[in-house]
Amino acid sequence: MATPKKYFHDHLVLLLLSVNGFLATAGSIFILVRLSTSHGNGYIVQYRSSLGINAFETGNVLDLLSFVVFAALVLGIHAVLSMRAYHVNRQVAIAILSLGILLLALTIIISNALLVLR
C-alpha cells in the first residue's frame, strides 16, 4: 500500500492530475454549453479533404457528445496507468499524465473547430 501513498504525496503528479481534471471538466462543460446554445440538428462532425466539395460530413448531437465521453476516458485511463506505472518509474508516470494533457487540449481544440463550423 506504499505506492498510492507516495503517488498522492508527489507534488508534480498532483499538479498534472489537477490539470488533467480541469481540462476534462472545462472541455466537457464547453462542449455541452456550445451544444445547448445551438439550435438545429445538423452538426459537422468530420472533415475529409480527399472528398473535395463534399469534404464536410454531418452528424447528430451524439457524435459530438462522444468528445465528452472521450475526455472522461482519457482522464480515468491516464490516472490509472500513471498510478500503476509510478512504482516502476516516476518519470513514466509523469510522461503518461503529460500525454493526457496533450490529448485533452487537442480534444478541446478539435471540438471547438467542429462546433465553429456549425
Convert the pLDDT of each residue in 37-51 to its tens digit. Answer: 766 667 777 777 777
70 vs 2, residue with greater confidence: 70
Q: List alpha helices for the chain, DSSP H.
A: 2-9, 11-37, 61-86, 90-116
Burial of 89 (0-12, 13-18, 19+ CB in 10 A): exposed
Question: What are the φ and ψ backbone dihedral angles of 45, each rounded to 5 degrees?
Answer: -115, -15
Of the two residues 54 and 23, the one the predictor is more confident about is: 23
- CA 57, CA 64: separation in Å to the nearest integer? 13
Amino acid identity for residue 44 in this structure: I
Average pLDDT taken over every residue of the chain: 88
Percent of the chain having pLDDT more than 90? 61
d(CA 53, CA 78): 39
SS3 45: strand
What is the band of 115 on the pLDDT scale with cuts at 50, 70, 90? Answer: confident
64 and 34 Cβ atoms separated by less than 8 Å: no
In the predicted model, is pLDDT for residue 32 greater than 80? yes
Q: Residue 55's pLDDT is what? A: 76
Cβ atoms within 10 Å, residue 77: 13
Q: Is the pLDDT of residue 52 over 90?
A: no
> What pTM was estimated for this model as a whole?
0.86
Alpha-carbon gap, residue 43 to 57, rounded angstroms: 8
